[in-house]
Amino acid sequence: MRRRDFVQGGLAVAANAALQVPAVQSAAPPRRIPYGSAVRGDALVDDFEYRTALIDRCQLIVPEGVLKWETLRPSEDRFDFYYGDKLLSFADQNGMKMRGHTLIWYAAMPEWTKSIRGGKASEKALTKHIHTVVGNYKGRIPSWDVINEAIADDPRGSDYLRPNLWLENMGKGYIETAFRRAAETDPQVQLVINEYDIECVGEYFKNRRNALLRVVRDLRDRGAPIHAVGFQAHLKGQHEIDKEGVSSFVAELKAMDVDVLVTELDVIDNLLPSDEKQRDEVIAGRATDLLQAISDANQPTAILTWGITDRYTWVPTWFTREDGSPNRPLPLDRDYKAKPLMDAIERFTTPA
Ligand code: G3I
């Protein structure tokens, strides 16, 4: 079974299972392409409407934070799966699947990891983390972001990888090692390299796509188990989508038998018009352009937004608006009313 079928097949099985057990709340109906959202556990507990919106609309969830080292690894010896397990049971009880985010990322690392030094010690720490975490969720998480944001912010020549603990200590082979460790732990799981700022027009975005292709090609040449590229798709509303660039990027990946998915879609609107209707149209238009450009070359295996409601979003942390009005980056507004972005996503995910 191909991994893409595993994810979608798993969703169908989950939906049937939910139908046979009346006590369990029913899942959102299966879609042509599964739709999902990043989830915050505290909001899930406190906000009934949030919980309901996720159950009604999502076939997939992904924890926004609790599977990062910062939460999972309070100390070198401890693994804390409490919050991840809670979200997974929420998914299970409601006929959804849960993706894993993320095994290796330069950010959200606990202080104690600063003491990891040297090639051997680093490889040992990376292996222990991946074996334990992927192993804990073996057969229960069908898709993992193995490496998040591996590309240098402004890749040039041989400096195309983002510095992190693993690159410094193990060299660029850390990427291959991470994929191999994940595959040997759960051979059924879809293994993803996830990246931002690869969607829009301009040299900066093009260089980043090319650097990512270089990494994927290198992994493929070495026979490493990589299955998909994740477009984070934190789209900056003021930039146009590079439709040709995205389509040919996806086509090159397809030629290497590498799938694509959209992992963290939202549209950053700090530089968009004040008028909400106008703003929402631009936001939906950007997402449509991206989803169309991807679909023209290959159907994404899933589409996830980084949150479902403007009530809970990371965007204002960095991109507040000068006019003081709240950001509107997500498919539902703060009162859970669907916006044009939701319709745009549904056009791609719902069966024709
Ligand atoms: O949990 C603490 C809380 O106890 C404390 O009171 C509060 C005070 O600042 O901080 C809380 O932790 C914050 C956490 O989000 C939970 O809200 C962290 O400071 C904050 O750094 C963390 O930010 C997250 C960030 O990744 C770093 O992990 C964002 O919510 C999350 O949206 C963001 O997600 C990333 C993806 O993983 C990768 N792609 C980009 C995306 C957006 O930046």
* Closest ligand 1 atom to 232 CA: 39
Confidence at residue 25, expressed as pLDDT on a 0 to 100 scale: 53
Single out the residue of 16, 124, 37 nearest to residue 311, CA to CA.
37
pLDDT of amino acid 27: 65
- Indicate which residue's Cα is closest to atom 34 of ligand 1: 64
Those residues of the chain that have pLDDT short of 70 are: 1-27
Centre of ligand 1 from the C-alpha of residue 49, in Å: 22
Residue nearest to atom 19 of ligand 1 (CA): 108
> Which residue type sits at 136?
N
Structure tokens given for 58 = 């999502």
> Over the chain, what is the mean pLDDT?
93
Q: How far apart are CA 105 and CA 6, in angstroms?
A: 26
Test site for ligand 1: of 72, 164, 193, 314, most ligand atoms within 8 A of the Cβ: 314
Peptide bond into 185 cis (omega under 30): no
CA of 226 to the centre of ligand 1 (A): 27
The domains found in the chain, sorted by start residue, are: 3-349 (3.20.20.80)
- Name residues contacting ligand 1 (CB within 6 A): 64-65, 68, 107-108, 148, 196, 232, 264, 314
Q: Assign residue 338 a region: left if phi > 0, alpha if psi is -120 to 50, beta otherwise?
A: beta
Say if residue 152 is exposed, middle or buried (CB neighbours under 10 Å; 0-12, 13-18, 19+). Answer: middle
- Are 33 and 349 a contacting pair, CB within 8 Å? yes
Tell me what pLDDT residue 31 has: 78
- The DSSP bridge pattern shows strands 97-98 and 60-63 to be parallel
Within 13 Å and on the Cβ side, how many CA atoms surround 120?
0
User: What's the confidence (pLDDT) of residue 24?
Assistant: 45
Determine the distance separating the centroid of ligand 1 and the alpha carbon of 70, expressed in angstroms: 10
Provide the CA 140 distance to its chain's centre, in angstroms.
17
pLDDT recorded at residue 351: 76
CA distance 307 to 264: 8
How close is the Cα of 245 to the center of ligand 1, in Å? Answer: 31
